[in-house]
Chains A and B, each alone.
Chain A
Amino acid sequence: MKRLVCLLLTFIILLGVMQLTALAEEERITITIMRDYIAPPEADGEILKYMCDKYNVNFEIIYIERGNWNESISTKFAKGEIGDIIDVKGLDLLYTYVEQGLLAELPPDFLKENAPFLYNEYVKEDETHALRYTTIDGKNYGIPNITGNNFHNVIAWRGDWLTKLGFDKAPETLEEMEEALYAIVQQDPDGNGINDTYGIGETGMEMVYGAYGYLPELWQDRDGMLVYGAVQPETKQALTKLAQWYQDGIIDPEFVTGENQGGYYAISHSFNNNRIGLTCLGAYYHWKPVFYPGDSKSEVYLELQKANPEALETIMYGTPVTGPEGKSGMEGSAVINAASTVGFGIQLQEDPERFAKVLQVYDAMSSTYENYIESIFGIRGVHWDYDETTGFPGLINGNDSKSVARLGIVSGFECNEYTYLRAKPRIDWAYEKKLDVGVLSNQLLVPLASAADYQDELDKLRDETFTKIIRGDLPVDAFDDFVAEWYRLGGQQLTDEANEWYATLEK
């Protein structure tokens, strides 16, 4: 009898709870998110449900196919499916979406009011006001993501070769670099008696351009004006040097097809197989060791460990070499991570209340460290936990980035402080290897109106001409014709537009 009463009571309580949750669910608003994931998320994923309960909203993920972003998202737009939160993969797309009337205006004050954390983190602290990147005709349409750590690619020298050839450190100037490369090519550092080593492949050239001050693919400041690196007279000097090197057998003739011969894109086959002595392929998170369980996967490091452990142990990490005038540089990440800008669906513009709620939830997901980690890894204790010895969060119970994606993570905004908190060893490693030294960034941060008309053709012209000059198919003086041609084929228009934008910044 007692048991029966007990059971009955439990039943009634259960019913009550169900009723309550049903009520709560009715009040929940639905927030749709258009986003790509490494694996398509399931509508009833465990993490998604958890996040819905935690923030008392219904998250609905509209999965956008990674490799076919544009087709995938434009068909959804076409049938009127516009997410509340939309990942915008680049500022050029932001402009397109705004033009098509897909994005809601997000006035800075409205953002400040409803997402104070994001506002402080991304807008206020930056003295140049980050929202200007997402502002079109005086109206703001999104939140850009500021990249905190600006590193260039790794500069990895074959330490065992350099030591053998009598160099005790990685070259620091262009002259030293030249000396080292000639030694690598001429003195058979791998000791196999065959003249089969080259100095550099495709990626080693970047810092040669940098040593003269301008990178061929960047817009840089020159006396207060934006100029395109490829058409600067300094670039001709770099090409003269490279053509000389090619003629002397320093540059691997296979540079045209690149150092990676398939497989993971950051792995340099030429470097791993003792073909070249210097590579700059891959970022710090590819080359660092795996520091703790749950640390990101170091693809290049792990492959080199298997393929060429001797080379891995002796690598000398260098800095971009300085040229005759003391200049140096390699491309770093841009000031803002244009690929993770977030926009909001046009339907929110008509419904400020819901817009406010969306912003509040988004803000909450990012406003504390644990909330953020939860938003990218899932439920603590089930999918991830802090490592007992190191204290860094990592996925547990056999989860990987794909399984949590499938279970429906709803990532918030990652502020720099969190990156550092969750991945300190890896970022310390990058600083230790001086990857922040000599970083050049593209100073043009908006897409140009005419870029779609000219850019592809200009890039092709640049790449073809430079390759021919380096290979000796064209004399170095062909560079002057190239410059004239570049301006004639639309480069002048682009330069004008770039500077029109650049001028608005100074105000």
Chain B
Amino acid sequence: MQRRFIKPTPGSRLFDIFNHLFMVLLCLAMIYPIFYLAMLSLTASDVPLTKGYLIPPHVSLENYAQVMSNHYIGYGFVNAVRRTLVGTAFSVAMMLLTAYPLSKKYFPGRRFWTGFVVFTMFFSGGMIPTYLTNSQVLGLDGSFWVLILPGLINTYNMLIARNFFMGLPEELTESGRIDGAGELRILLALILPVSLPIIATLALWSAVSHWNAWFDSMLYFSDPKQQVLQLVLRRIVLEGSDDMMNLGSAADEMTTVNPETIKAATTMVATIPIVLVYPFVQKYFVKGMVVGSLKG
């Protein structure tokens, strides 16, 4: 006779209670900022902000209307979506193509090439040389591709993909080779179908970092219509913050600063699209765990 569950002792019950309590607190700590921001973005303009209401007495969508009427939000949104889609597709493809050979023990010079790539994780050229290389040497200044090409391969993510490939049974490759498949065929027909979890992971990471990036857009583009959404957001949110006002001259006295509610609404508008991606990718994460556990 086997009992499925061990009878809970008072100690383990106490442990469970605290466990749940901490989990709820942890969840609250993450949900509250989003909730706060959402409420702030719905606050009507006649509500004093220094009072700190949990739920605003007057709710309105006027902030969202104003955000949507912002001249650059539309351009920024289109640019950000374009960059995220194109950038993610190219990045994932290149990372897989780099990671797969590096995962093979028979790849000539494997150690050297891995070291070569890892080197870039620890040493970078610095901002100005990078900028000059991209804009002058590669001639990417002002081109859409400057957002995509320099960061095509994220070394860390690529190494994770490589480790994933190394974990796949060698027999999989051998079975393909027996049937006469070449390396590319093996990668496309055999390896990729079982690698969906790592592809989803790379895609998500890559998409999120593309969506959040703004610094490169600021450096390489001078036309405001080419800027990405996060840069537009950053400008709106930084308005009226102390360090910017200190730069100020007489002109700052007559500056119309967007109120906090507009900033909150802008943040929501810029954040929600990328958050919506998560549910679609999540099932692959679950699968990834299952796949991992089946290997023996």
CA–CA, A395 to B46, complex, Å? 23
A43 near B50 with CB under 8 A, answer no
B127 near A75 with CB under 8 A, answer yes
A71 near B219 with CB under 8 A, answer yes
Interface status of B177 (Cβ within 8 A of chain A): no
Residue of A with least CB distance to B246:
A339
B50 near A269 with CB under 8 A, answer yes
Contacts of B9 in A (CB 8 A): none
A79 near B135 with CB under 8 A, answer yes
Interface status of B94 (Cβ within 8 A of chain A): no
- With A265-B242, A273-B50, A401-B254 given, is the CB distance from A340 to B71 under 8 Å? no
Interface status of A38 (Cβ within 8 A of chain B): yes
- With A78-B131, A297-B256, A297-B257 given, is the CB distance from A339 to B71 under 8 Å? no
A376 near B245 with CB under 8 A, answer no
A263 near B49 with CB under 8 A, answer yes
Q: Chain A interface: which of B184-192, B199-207, B233-241?
A: B233-241
Interface status of B28 (Cβ within 8 A of chain A): no
- With A79-B136, A339-B249 given, is the CB distance from A71 to B257 under 8 Å? no
Q: What class of interface size applies to chain A in its complex with B?
A: 35 or more
Q: Of residues 145 to 174 in B, which have CB atoms within 8 Å of A's CB atoms?
A: none
Residue of B with least CB distance to A296:
B254
- With A62-B222, A75-B219 given, is the CB distance from A67 to B253 under 8 Å? no
B135 near A265 with CB under 8 A, answer no
A400 near B131 with CB under 8 A, answer no
- With A42-B224, A75-B219, A306-B47 given, is the CB distance from A401 to B255 under 8 Å? yes
CA–CA, A75 to B131, complex, Å? 7
Q: Out of B52, B242, B247, which one reaches A36, CB within 8 Å?
A: B247
CA–CA, A315 to B260, complex, Å? 25
Residue of B with least CB distance to A399:
B256
A145 near B249 with CB under 8 A, answer yes
* Chain A nearest Cβ from B266, distance in angstroms: 13
Among A38, A68, A145, A307, which residue has the most Cβ atoms of chain B within 10 A?
A38
* Chain A nearest Cβ from B221, distance in angstroms: 10
Contacts of A297 in B (CB 8 A): 254-257
Q: Mark B209-229, 1 if CB is under 8 A from A, else 0.
A: 000000100110011110100
B249 near A340 with CB under 8 A, answer yes
Contacts of A263 in B (CB 8 A): 49-50, 260
Contacts of A65 in B (CB 8 A): 218
Residue of A with least CB distance to B51:
A307
* Chain A nearest Cβ from B66, distance in angstroms: 12
A376 near B251 with CB under 8 A, answer yes
Residue of B with least CB distance to A258:
B242
Contacts of B47 in A (CB 8 A): 306
CA–CA, A63 to B51, complex, Å? 37
Q: Out of A68, A267, A307, A400, which one reaches B218, CB within 8 Å?
A: A68
Residues in B lying within 8 Å of A, measured CB to CB: 46-52, 71, 127-128, 131-132, 135-136, 141, 215, 218-219, 222-225, 227, 234-235, 238-251, 253-257, 259-260
For the complex of A and B, the 4 pairs showing the least CB-CB separation, nearest first, are: A307-B48, A340-B249, A306-B48, A40-B224
List 22 A-B pairs, Cβ < 8 Å. A36-B247, A39-B224, A39-B235, A40-B224, A41-B224, A42-B224, A67-B238, A69-B247, A72-B219, A74-B128, A78-B128, A78-B132, A89-B247, A265-B242, A269-B52, A272-B48, A272-B51, A296-B253, A297-B254, A299-B240, A376-B251, A426-B253
Q: Given A41-B224, A72-B218, A303-B50, list of 19 further CB < 8 A pairs? A: A38-B255, A67-B243, A72-B219, A79-B132, A89-B247, A263-B50, A264-B257, A269-B52, A296-B253, A297-B255, A297-B256, A297-B257, A340-B249, A376-B251, A400-B256, A401-B251, A401-B256, A402-B256, A419-B250
